[in-house]
Amino acid sequence: MRVFVVNSGSSSIKYQLIDVATEQVVLAGLLERIGQEGGDAADHDTGMRLVLERLGAEAGTISAVGHRVVHGGDVFTAPVVIDEAVEAGIQAVSALAPLHNPANLAGIRAARAALPAVPHVAVFDTAFHQTMPEAAATYAIDRAVATAHGVRRYGFHGTSHQFVAGRAAALLGRPLHELKLIVLHLGNGASATAIDGGRSIDTSMGLTPLAGLVMGTRSGDLDPGALLHLLRAGLSVDELDALLNSRSGLLGLAGSSDMRDVRAAAEAGDADAERALAVWAHRIRHYVGAYLAQLGGLDAVVFTAGVGENAPALRARALAGLEHLGLALDAARNAAASRDARIISPEGSRVAVLVVPTNEELAIAQAAAALVG
């Protein structure tokens, strides 16, 4: 079975045609600057027609289309076959992800128009975290206000966390339902999730993808009082939004959002870059300790995503000082260059440490295939 996976942004369409049985990518591509002068397409409808032209005869092999949707609110707790009611539901929760859901929906509508004869499936970044207990999902603000505005913790990167947890269980040779895991999705966007028996019980992102770990341009956790202070100091809501989402994190601390640049600057003696790395690692350790307490035990910590998969020195830094919790790295295993899922802790460690490559497109394809058969 072949599934066409679409990740539609406000000005881009990323796509892959995946053979689910072999897990191989048959064809992949990207349209950029949609709707912009000199861009690849005037709008998403035109862009999707261009994608079908690129697919050529392969378009006839598509059995289903899987769509990444960032926010499902508390309405969508699992992948769903898309119809008009589902489109309306995605639109209804767009206020919770105004930069993402409208773009996801534009891609869905364009793809359904271009490929009307096959089922389309929405896979939500937030769905995996809907198993969080109420105590973990609730903010301690006025209940009526929170309910009226949908203010609660939803979590993100759920497709990645769920996929990686399954691959970690296979690597360990144990059933997922027996395992207590902490998955660290460390890329330009970053999040941590505590997974107990295959279920998310806590995660670092919240109402939006702004909370939690230090990211490339996003602040992660911040005292809400700091926002009030900056508003009273004269920053507008839009300026504050831009500050926290686009000018904070590694960029705000070290002048670059690219971890490779920050590491190079730190190694060259740049004090700001070294401080940024220290803050980044401190925040990760904070969550590892907190989630170990919530899980009541731990079988493995799993690194994934761009930084987590490819930066051995940063993996070591993130876990430094946690040896008393049973967390240690084998230096040679950690440093070994590999793109495979692997164990990087010493033989016989009380807690395993793994590197497991994520593949959100494959996860979306598998979810779509499982739903439509």
Whether the pLDDT of residue 28 is over 80: the answer is yes
Q: Residue 256: what pLDDT?
A: 95
Whether the pLDDT of residue 99 is over 80: the answer is no
Q: Distance between CA atoms of 163 and 232, rounded to whole angstroms? A: 43
pLDDT band at 60 (very low <50, low <70, confident <90, very high): very high
* Intervals of CATH 3.30.420.40 along the chain: 2-124, 177-360
Single out the catalytic residue among 40, 43, 83, 125: 125
Whether the pLDDT of residue 137 is over 80: the answer is yes
Tell me the average pLDDT of the chain: 95
**CATH class given for the domain over 177-360:** alpha beta
User: What average pLDDT does this structure show over 68-85?
Assistant: 94
Scanning the structure block, which residue is given the tokens 């707790």? 77
pLDDT band at 97 (very low <50, low <70, confident <90, very high): confident
Torsions phi, psi of 63, nearest 5?
-95, -25
Segments of the chain assigned E as strands: 2-8, 13-19, 24-31, 62-69, 80-81, 120-124, 180-186, 190-196, 199-203, 300-304, 342-343, 352-355
Lowest mean pLDDT across 18-22, 24-28, 53-57: 53-57
Per residue, what are the HEC states of 26-63?
EEEEEECCCCCCCCCCCCHHHHHHHHHHHHHHHHHHEE
Give the domain 2-124 fold: Nucleotidyltransferase; domain 5 (3.30.420)
pLDDT band at 277 (very low <50, low <70, confident <90, very high): very high
Please report, rounded to a whole number, the percentage of residues in the chain having pLDDT higher than 90. Answer: 87
Angle, helix 259-267 to helix 312-319, in steps of 10 degrees: 80
Please report, rounded to a whole number, the percentage of residues in the chain having pLDDT higher than 70. Answer: 100
- Tens digit of pLDDT for each residue in 197-253? 999 999 999 999 899 999 999 999 999 999 999 999 999 999 999 999 999 999 999
Let me know: does 258 contact 217? Beta carbons within 8 Å: no
Q: Residue 35: what pLDDT?
A: 86
Q: Residue 32: what pLDDT?
A: 87
Q: Residue 315: what pLDDT?
A: 98
83, 82, 126, 87: which is closest to 105 by C-alpha?
87
User: What average pLDDT does this structure show over 339-362?
Assistant: 97
pLDDT band at 284 (very low <50, low <70, confident <90, very high): very high
Judge whether 125 counts as a catalytic residue: yes
Let me know: does 181 contact 165? Beta carbons within 8 Å: yes
